[in-house]
Structure 1
Amino acid sequence: MRLGIDWGGTKMEIIALSEQGEVLFRKRVPTPKDDYEGCLAAVAGLVEAAEADTGKTGTLGVGIPGSLSPATGLVKNSNAVWLNGKPLDRDLQARLGRPVRIQNDANCFAVSEATDGAGAGKAVVHAIIIGTGCGSGIALGGRAHSGANGIAGEWGAITVPWLTPEEFPGPDCWIGHKGAIEYWCSGTGFQADYEKKTGTALNGREIIALKRKGDPAATDIYRAYVSRLGRALAMSANLLDPDVLVLGGGMSNIDELYEDLPAAMAPFIFSDSYDTPIRKAFHGDSSGVRGAAWLWGAGES
């Protein structure tokens, strides 16, 4: 049995998977915000609940909103800031009495979709999260690719490429860069653009509903979003040339994106042709927690 935990800023979820990927157990609890020791206790409680319910002991993988530094072994770059600087893997292993594999949550998303999702059977999967924020993970041969410094896939930290004069230098982002993919290609940025243009605050679903009715302002905001996301994905195509691009997060539910993005990407791709598919995540909101469980691959113990 494989156990996976998705450690989010507001909730923690555990899933237990059989060797065939069948869900045996799942449970969510609120994340003890700003309470590191409370979070460790919550993880231990989730593992205990899963193993009590199934009567089995499992391997454990954990997806976190950050990464472990290869230099120090401590958590870095987490927006759940109380994790930063903590020896999370050592602390969890000591508390649970077993090895624990920890990965960035976007990498877990990529592993899930590469294992038995929209990228199954593909050697190189670039999985993009376009939700409240915007980030990505990379799976190579079904395994998470963290990179030499633990920052592979930190695509959201880059400024949207090929900025137009009207866009330059772009809005501020919490990561300290202007015009970052993290902001402009997120649902948050999409909604902020609409409010700036119209003076009206709407959520993404409401803006898309107006766009589908032909509303000019909503249509303009959608076109700008597609252009920016298309340029960001073209950069991925030129650098990584993945076998598939998988989209997750709330904005990935906009069906028109899959029709409109290839044309937005095309002018910026350094190739005479490009037919890499762009697919919606097969496992949806469950992909991250499933990927954490799959950090222990087939045949591993």
Structure 2
Amino acid sequence: MATQRTRTRLFRRLRIGIDLGGTKIELVALDESGNVLRRRRRPTPQGDYLATIRVVTELVAAAEDDLGGRGSVGIGIPGTESVAAGHIKNANSTCLIGRPLRDDLQRLLQREVRLANDANCFALSEAIDGAGRGAEVVFGVILGTGVGGGIVVNQRVLTGVNRIAGEWGHNPLPSAEEEGLPPPACYCGRSGCVETWLSGPALSLDHWRHHGESLTAEAVGARAGAGDLAANASLQRYERRLAKALAQVINILDPDVIVLGGGLSNLERLYRSVPMLWTAHVFSDEVRTRLLPNVHGDSSGVRGAAWLWDEA
């Protein structure tokens, strides 16, 4: 009888998160305190929608079998759901586009499933028990292959009526004319989006355009840290652009905390230089917003997906 009561308690408190990425599908199961009970990864079947949702259901089934109970399921996806049709749009994993992902997973898992953009999941994780813990308003930023954002208010994700809240990367860079370069083309069909200036590939391209050297964003950072003048100049341009773009967010949202994620969040100098630069663009005599590195690293997305069921 004691064993049955224990299993019942686990059933009530178990939260399962899935990070549905382009290269891997990761599962994490959390208890009520956010402790990790199980973590598993599987390669994402490339270009195969049916195989992808099958991997998700297999991971959930295996976790529940091992842990002895059924849990809530939250999914972080590299895209958003269409308001009109409920299908996936704007996804880097193109096999998801146009598919009724939520309906299919709910049918296979036989329960309600919550979906959120992966940047929203990152922001939620950091707001609940990460760098933004205890803050009322948290803006989470992904600076990686792409640029995204998520908004969390009182530990709840703000999605908006169009489900695009936090889509910071597809706004134009403020005062782009001072960059002295043509606005780069964006995959979304427009030019000069924040993503085209601040993603990892954007930093690499900018370094090549100014200095004629092909380097990854990580290599630019490493070279700058070693005293390379050209790489340092590239990072100074990057910091100025990031400061302008985040000042725009502060002017509209006025968050307590901005948390950086993605590969470029590992550049420690950003947390010193960008707040000094953004003051010139923020409409206030004092800027109390804190710019912080993430706590949970690559795990933030999958943890945030699990926490989608802790919002109510």
Distance in structure 2 (CA, Å) of the matches to 1:7 and 1:297: 20
Give 2:76's aligned residue: 63
| 1:170 aligned counterpart, secondary structure | coil
TM-align CA RMSD: 1.3
Give 2:307's aligned residue: 294
Give 1:75's aligned residue: 88
**1:143 correspondence with 2:163:** no
Distance in structure 1 (CA, Å) of the matches to 2:219 and 2:128: 34
Give 2:294's aligned residue: 281
Matches within 5 A, 1:201-220: 201-220=214-233
**Which of 242, 262, 265 is the aligned partner of 1:229?**
242
Distance in structure 2 (CA, Å) of the matches to 1:254 and 1:170: 25
1:244–1:40 distance in 2 versus 1, CA, 3 Å: same
Distance in structure 1 (CA, Å) of the matches to 2:33 and 2:69: 15
**1:19 correspondence with 2:32:** yes
Distance in structure 2 (CA, Å) of the matches to 1:293 and 1:79: 21
Note if contact 1:159-1:177 (Cα within 8 Å) is conserved in structure 2.
no
Give 2:251's aligned residue: 238
**What amino acid does structure 2 have at the position aligned with 1:170?**
P
Distance in structure 2 (CA, Å) of the matches to 1:134 and 1:165: 21
Q: Which runs of 5+ in 1 are unaligned?
A: none
| 1:32 aligned counterpart, secondary structure | coil
**1:98 correspondence with 2:150:** no
Distance in structure 2 (CA, Å) of the matches to 1:46 and 1:173: 35
| 1:267 aligned counterpart, secondary structure | coil
**For the pair shown, which has the larger CA radius of gyration, 1 or 2?**
2
| 2:309 aligned counterpart, secondary structure | coil
Report the CA distance between 1:168 and its aligned residue.
Answer: 5.0
Distance in structure 1 (CA, Å) of the matches to 2:240 and 2:45: 38
Q: Which runs of 5+ in 2 are unaligned?
A: 1-13
Give 2:184's aligned residue: 171
**1:117 correspondence with 2:138:** no
Give 2:66's aligned residue: 53
1:109–1:248 distance in 2 versus 1, CA, 3 Å: same
1:176–1:167 distance in 2 versus 1, CA, 3 Å: farther
**What amino acid does structure 2 have at the position aligned with 1:80?**
S
Query: Normalising by the residue count of structure 2, what TM-score does the alignment of the two structures yield?
Result: 0.93
Query: Normalising by the residue count of structure 1, what TM-score does the alignment of the two structures yield?
Result: 0.96
Give 1:266's aligned residue: 279
